[in-house]
Chain A
Amino acid sequence: MVPISITVNGKVRKAHVEPRTLLVHFLREQLNLTGAHVGCDTSQCGACTVLIDGRSAKSCTVFAVQADGSEVVTIEGLAKGDQLHPLQEGFWEEHGLQCGYCTPGMIMSAVNLLNDNPKPSEAQIREGLSGNFCRCTGYQHIVNAIQYAAAKGGR
């Protein structure tokens, strides 16, 4: 067991973990932050996406020990109290989700996307989502949701 200290959604979390513990399992099992989901085992679907030190990452492809000393933001840390993040608002307004399984990862990826490019074109949005799979929506309403958030200047 290895001691780690990770700031998750603004709170310092100290724990002892097996080195092989994946960050996504640490978040889900030990911190009970179950918003990040596991949708594949080849580091592709993006359902587990969180921000590590401000950039999007697939938490299924990072060991918790690697994140020791880092700041992690999960979907649970995005809203400010009752105030939804503009992207969360966009996904709601534009019906950007159906089963909701890919949604937390999709939104966290979109946070990274708008941070890098606050006014993305449709093509840039689609390109920016290539690390996130959705089987329900055909992506169109997701594109609309991100456009909605971008129009509100939301990051």
Chain B
Amino acid sequence: MIPITFDYRRASSLDDALKALAASGGSAKLLAGGHSLVPLMKLRLSEPGTLIDIARIPELSGIRDKGGQIEIGATTVHHAVATSRLLLDRCPVVAEAAATIGDTQVRNRGTIGGSMAHADPSADMPAVMVALDAEIQMQSAKGQRTVKAGTFFQDLFTVDLQPGEIITAVRFAPVKTAAYVKLYQKASHYAIVGIAAVLDVKGGTIQSARIGLTGATTHAVRLTKLEQALAGAAKDSVEKIAANAGAELQVVNSDIHASEEYRRAMVGVIAKRAVLAALARG
């Protein structure tokens, strides 16, 4: 319930935060909503020496149209994402996934950048970002860096974020025909399996598909074999194609809530539901 002692520094600007981060020599962690970090600190599973609070840096927050693409600032809270008119109109899958995160209070504080950086294997938003082929934008003293979500998530709680770097935003091309479906773990409300399906649909036929998965693997991944199989598929063949979607995964998580066998099967069930839900938006 009680973290160890640490130093606290509230950053007034991105530059200020970058300087503080550099000065800490690696002992600092960034704090925005704190809804991934603070619970870990309370259980003393994370013991940073310094926290740099970036929650009030104006340029890090907000949801904007950037030349047809949508950019969400890193410290934008899940509630803002879930209720964004822009997202609901043009890329509802992101709002839909945000609305399944935690609970109201968590969504009021937790941020999209925090979800990305923490990379919980059962978090919702990473699946959506890999399916949207989103870019993760980062800033360090050396300058800007951008990586695709598909390579950003590397392993269990491990991402391509270098010391001294701050996630500033995620950016993606909006897709209307996309949906997120989640099988809830009843205690935590994290995903046992969560699937984001992003489709390009023409005349009732799937031209191409990008499928993001969370909950079943160490980190969010794309189901590329399923994507290939779905390309060119009609609605009525989705169930058959998706049924065996779990088979392409090498290693699948197993815990007291769901065995590997069950999770693997659920990947197929939830994938089907996500694809059909995305088609229904067409």
Q: Name A's B-contacting residues (CB within 8 A).
A: 2, 18-20, 22, 38, 41-44, 46, 49, 52, 55-58, 60-63, 65-66, 68, 109, 112-113, 128, 130-132
Contact = CB atoms under 8 A, between A and B. Distances in A.
B7 A19 contact: yes
A118 to B, nearest CB: 15
Interface stretch (B104-112, B125-133, B135-143): B104-112
Given A19-B8, A43-B38, A61-B35, A66 B53 contact: yes
Interface string B1-34: 1111111101000000000000000000001001
Given A20-B4, A66-B31, A56 B39 contact: no
A49 B51 contact: no
A18 B55 CA distance: 19
Given A61-B39, A63-B34, A46 B109 contact: no
A46 B10 contact: no
Contact of A41 (B1, B7, B31, B103): B1
Given A19-B8, A41-B42, A61-B39, A46 B108 contact: no
Contacts of A113: 104
Contact of A130 (B6, B51, B189): B189
A20 to B, nearest CB: 5
B108 A112 contact: yes
Given A62-B34, A112-B104, A131-B106, A43 B39 contact: yes
Contacts of B103: 44, 46, 130-132
B53 A46 contact: no
Contacts of A66: 31, 34, 53, 55
Interface in B80-122: 102-106, 108-109
Nearest to A18: B5
A57 B109 contact: yes
Contact of B79 (A22, A55, A60, A62): A55
B10 A68 contact: yes
Contact of A20 (B3, B39, B79): B3
Given A43-B35, A43-B38, A61 B102 contact: no
A56 B5 contact: no
A37 B132 CA distance: 41
Contact of B43 (A41, A49, A132): A41
A19 B53 CA distance: 11
B271 to A, nearest CB: 25
Nearest to B189: A130
A22 B38 CA distance: 10
A131 B102 contact: yes
B39 A19 contact: no
B106 A128 contact: no
Contacts of A68: 10
A112 B55 CA distance: 21
The 8 A-B pairs at the shortest CB distance, nearest first, are namely: A131-B103, A19-B8, A41-B1, A55-B108, A131-B105, A130-B103, A43-B39, A58-B105
A87 B43 CA distance: 34
Nearest to A38: B1
Nearest to B79: A55
Given A63-B8, A65-B53, A130 B104 contact: yes
Contact of A19 (B1, B35, B51, B55): B51
Contact of B105 (A2, A19, A22, A46): A46
B149 to A, nearest CB: 26
Contacts of B55: 66
A57 B8 contact: no
24 contacts: A2-B8, A19-B7, A20-B3, A41-B42, A43-B38, A44-B103, A56-B105, A56-B108, A57-B105, A57-B109, A58-B105, A58-B109, A60-B42, A61-B34, A61-B35, A61-B109, A62-B109, A63-B38, A65-B10, A66-B55, A109-B104, A109-B105, A112-B104, A131-B103
